[in-house]
Amino acid sequence: MTATTTDAPKSTLARIVAAGTHQRVLAFASLVILLIGFSIASPNFMQTSNMIAILQATSVNGVLAIAVTLVIITGGIDLSVGTMMTFCAVITGVVLTYAGLPLMFGVLAAVLTGALCGACSGTFVAKMAIPPFIATLGMMLILKGLSLVISGTRPIYFNDTPGFSEISRGSLIGEVIPSLPIPNGVLILFIVAAVTAYILNRTVLGRYCFALGSNEESVRLSGVNTDRWKIAIYALAGAIVGIAGLLIASRLNSAQPALGLGYELEAIAAVVIGGTSLSGGRGSILGSLIGALIMAVLTNGLRVLSVAQEWQTVVTGAIIILAVYADMMRRNKTN
């Protein structure tokens, strides 16, 4: 309405940079610095086999981080992704090993189980107005218990399902380009990332993720059925966790019912390092992917340098605090 201040149309690049991506740029720069640093420190680090090992190590945490990113952008949190992943793996074991159904049904079971669990969490949060932290803490314990009950606390092996371990460990790329045997697990990570990023930035569901995290009351007053969308977002996150369940089961060729606890914190750490705001409204899949990579590179690099594993954990913790502090500093400056 004023003639005095006009927004000059900016280039797409300028807008992306302006849209609060500094933290992502920072995270990416840190990743590059880490890679350069470790490769100078150890000649073994940059070998193709080691790079592939890093990517393989990223795949499960990366997929979980993508799932949590969706929930965190809405202003929520999901503590149940670790044990939910295990629960999905156990259900897959039931379908494939106990019931002896074909591979396809196992894949479907994992994804649907995840979506269902997510929808439950979403319902607790949206309809019953339980804070996400509590609702998903409850889910975390429920799913851990159910995994143990259903499996009788014993691992379920997938020896009778041909091709199951190929889901994570095979390499479709390696068959085409033998010099680049990137495992399928990594391929799946990147596909999940691309699809989720598309959903987040190009669909109604994604739009409401940001809108809910930005100002939920305002979305509600605009006449949007916020409860329904919240449940849908948690369900989508659950489905992605189901994929992580498949990946880890495939890698171990078994569903390990006691596994899972602690994965949720690794995933949240990756999301935070990647610049997604825990208060909601801002965040990106690419950032979380970079965050997960940074964590894997650190662990791997420190191991190559023969640093004790205990210290690797200390370094990861320090990185999280530094990453968030850098983000706070930047935001204080812009305000």
Both tokens of 53, joined, read: 């090992």
Q: Is 4 in the site for another protein (CB under 8 A)?
A: yes
Q: Nearer to another protein by C-beta: 286 or 293?
A: 286
Least distance in angstroms from the C-beta of 76 to another protein: 15
What residues numbered 230-269 form the site for another protein, per CB under 8 A? none
- Run of H or E including 39: helix 22-41
- Give the three-class secondary structure for 123: helix
d(CA 110, CA 93): 9
The closest of 185, 158, 153 to 257, measured between CA atoms, is 153
Q: Is 15 in the site for another protein (CB under 8 A)?
A: yes
DSSP string, 276-320: --TTSS---HHHHHHHHHHHHHHHHHHHHTT--HHHHHHHHHHHH
Q: Is 17 in the site for another protein (CB under 8 A)?
A: no
- Give the three-class secondary structure for 313: helix
Q: Nearer to another protein by C-beta: 15 or 154?
A: 15
Q: Is 11 in the site for another protein (CB under 8 A)?
A: no
Least distance in angstroms from the C-beta of 251 to another protein: 32
Q: Nearer to another protein by C-beta: 251 or 331?
A: 331
Q: Is 175 in the site for another protein (CB under 8 A)?
A: no
d(CA 222, CA 21): 28
The closest of 323, 333, 246 to 27, measured between CA atoms, is 323
d(CA 147, CA 185): 23
Between CA 285 and CA 233, with CA 228 as vertex, the angle to 5 degrees is 15
Q: Which stretch binds another protein (CB under 8 A): 17-25, 95-103, 253-261, 299-307?
A: 17-25
Q: Nearer to another protein by C-beta: 3 or 128?
A: 3
Q: Is 10 in the site for another protein (CB under 8 A)?
A: yes
Q: Nearer to another protein by C-beta: 127 or 220?
A: 220
Both tokens of 265, joined, read: 């914190």
Q: Nearer to another protein by C-beta: 5 or 306?
A: 5
Least distance in angstroms from the C-beta of 115 to another protein: 16
Q: Nearer to another protein by C-beta: 309 or 334?
A: 334
What residues numbered 271-310 form the site for another protein, per CB under 8 A? 281-282
Q: Is 152 in the site for another protein (CB under 8 A)?
A: no
Residues that contact another protein, how many (by CB under 8 A): 35
Q: Is 6 in the site for another protein (CB under 8 A)?
A: yes
Tokens 């149940």 identify what position? 80
Q: Which stretch binds another protein (CB under 8 A): 11-19, 89-97, 181-189, 294-302?
A: 11-19
Q: How far is CA 60 from the centre of its chain?
A: 8
> What does the per-residue mask of binding to another protein show for 194-233, with x meaning CB under 8 A?
--------xxxxxx--xx-xxx-xxxxxxxx---------
d(CA 112, CA 88): 9
Burial of 143 (0-12, 13-18, 19+ CB in 10 A): buried
> Which residues bind to another protein, rule: CB under 8 A?
1-10, 15, 18-20, 202-207, 210-211, 213-215, 217-224, 281-282
